[in-house]
Structures are given as C-alpha cells and as structure tokens.
Amino acid sequence: QDTSPAGLVDALNGTFGSHPGMRASHAKGFCAVGQFQPAKSARDFADGPLFGQKSVPANVRFSVGGGNPKASDKSRSVRGLSMRVAAGGETWDLLLISEPAFFAATPESFVSFLQARVPDPATGKPDPAKVAAHNAAHPDGTRQPALLAAHAAPSSYASTPYFSNNAFVFSGRGKKTQHARIVAEPFAPVQFLSADEEKTLPDLFLQDELARRLGADTVGFTLYAQLPAAGDSLLDPSTVWQGAGKVELGRLLVKGQAPHDACNGVVYMPLALPTGIAGSDDPILHARGAAYAVSLSRRLTQ
C-alpha cells in the first residue's frame, strides 16, 4: 500500500475522482472571515504570544467532507471548519470536523478505507463486500461511519460542534504540559436536519443558510481544549474520547463570507501551530501535512 504523501492523495482521488482546481478532500466549501478572541485564562494552558492577543483576524473555510465538489449538503458525511489566525509572529491553523472520531487510526488504514469505497462501476456505489472486508481488517474504520449513520447532516454550519480528533500537546504557564484534543462548540443550539428536510431541501443550501444567519445573528464557536480521561488514546484519532473536562481557549466569531480567493490559494496545515501547542505522536497527524501540500500543488497546477 502506498502511504507516501502522493499515495494518500491518490487514494482520495481514486475514490472521489480527480477534480481540477479542487482540494483532494473537503473539495466543496467556501471562505469566510472572522475574529479569534483568546480567553483570558488561555495562557495558563497554552503560553504563547498568540494567546495574549485581544482579538486576531481569522481566515475561515467551511466544507463538506470528501473529494466530490458536487456532494450534497444533505449527505451524511462530515462538515469541516478550518481557521488560520496569525499574530505576534505566530500562525495557528486549526482543522476540525463535525464528528468526534476520524475514519482511520493509521495511514495504511486510511488508504484501505478509501480503496474499499471506490465506486463499483455497475452500481456507482461502494461494493458492500469490500467495505465488510476492510471493517474486518481495520475495526478503527467502523466508528466514524457509525456516528454519521446515527443522525442526519447538520442543518447549518453554525449548528454543529467540530472536533480535531488528533491530540495536541499544550504547554501553559509554569511549563506544565498536557495532552488535549480541540473542540469547537457552536453558540447556536446543535441541530440536525429533520427527516422531512433530509428529503425536501435542495442539495445546495448551507452557504445561503449561513448568509441568512450572519445577517440576523452572531455566528460563532467557543474553542475548548478537551482533556483526556484515563484510557483515552493520545495516538488514535479514530476513537471517541470519554474526556475529563475542558479548558476554554477562546471564541471564534464568524463575521461574513469571503470571496473564493480568500482561502483557496492557501492550504491549512495541521502542524502550523503557535507557541503553547505542539503536535502529539499521533501517526495520522504527522502524515497529513505533506499530503495537504501535494493536494495544494495539484490543485494549483492541474
């Protein structure tokens, strides 16, 4: 199995097709802008200059998971929230998805998961026998699909929580270090599509829905560092954490949508981290950056 950076992107393209100019994953999406406001106590937990700022401009992107740029907004796949904030000579890229577990524990399992879902030319759908064989060999690939099957898609980008799945290492004042995952909780109540909406809404509604909401209300998220309970894996993003409390890092206020160029010439990098946050040893976290760079290079040139 090819788990090189190009191999990871090829696996995405193999399942979702190659779409010139588009991201290999989270292909459908749009840019937005906002402000990140660190919490007063954030430096106790992540002691870097970024967390000493009052308010930092944020470059944001909302997306539908998967590499199909025409995926329906109703599909039971993950939604993505990406944020880049830069201040005090530091940059923080934060990439979150709307389920608390990823679909693979390792790059090998990532490639196998996608290969098992290459559409069967006869049906246009994954071959259930191949998915079953993947599940038998890689039980880590069963958890995210089960979470997605358990509820309809979010009714708004602003009405779902988002999760980093990967753990990070935080160093706060006094050099105390702690592992944590990152969670963004929406200001708005969590809401999924009703059975009726799942049938009747058009495939494209999330962007207009957010525009209407931005005109009427404050849209935002509170960002937390979620602490692990004993036994929560620090290395495996496919497991749901039980968690042992959370520390507020700040708030992300979304102010408006932004033109295509605001976020499409850039790539959010999972290991672009500010002082106070470092990567954990999670093998998925470390496999990501180089694959994102391959995807950027392909979408800017093909």
Q: How far is the CB of 189 from ligand HEM (least distance, A)?
A: 22
Choosing from 19, 26, 138, 151, the catalytic residue is: 26
Residues linked to residue 8 through DSSP beta bridges, in sequence order: none
Which string of x and - marks every residue 4-23 that binds ligand HEM (by CB under 6 A)? Answer: ----xx--x----------x
Q: How far is the CB of 123 from ligand HEM (least distance, A)?
A: 26
Q: Which is nearer to ligand HEM, 30 or 45 (CB)?
A: 30
152 contacts 195 by C-beta, under 8 angstroms: yes
Q: Is 224 in the site for ligand HEM (CB under 6 A)?
A: no
Q: Are strands 90-97 and 79-87 parallel, antiparallel or unpaired?
A: antiparallel
Q: Is 168 in the site for ligand HEM (CB under 6 A)?
A: no
Name residues whose C-beta falls within 8 Å of residue 73's C-beta, 6 or more positions apart in sequence: 64, 153, 201, 203, 204, 205, 206
For residues 237-296, which are near ligand HEM according to CB under 6 A? Answer: 237, 267-268, 284, 287-288, 291-292, 295-296
Distance CA 10, CA 4 (A): 10
Which string of x and - marks every residue 183-212 that binds ligand HEM (by CB under 6 A)? Answer: ------------------------------
- Among this protein's residues, is 26 annotated catalytic? yes
What 3 state SS string does 151-199 have? CCCECCCCCCCEECCCCEEEECHHHCEEEEEEEEEECCCCCECCHHHHH
Instruction: Single out the residue of 34, 48, 66, 80 in contact with ligand HEM (rule: CB under 6 A).
Output: 80
| SS3 of residue 103 by DSSP | coil
Extract the annotated binding site. Answer: 292
Q: How far is the CB of 288 from ligand HEM (least distance, A)?
A: 5
What Cα–Cα distance (Å) separates residue 4 from each residue in 124, 267, 288? 28, 19, 10
With contacts defined by CB under 6 A, name the span among 91-99, 170-178, 179-187, 214-222 that binds ligand HEM.
91-99
Residue owning tokens 């102010």: 255
3-state helix, strand, coil in the chain (%, to 5): 30, 25, 45
Active site residues: 26
Residues that bind ligand HEM (CB under 6 A): 8-9, 12, 23-26, 29, 61, 63, 80, 82, 95-97, 102, 107, 110, 164-166, 237, 267-268, 284, 287-288, 291-292, 295-296, 299
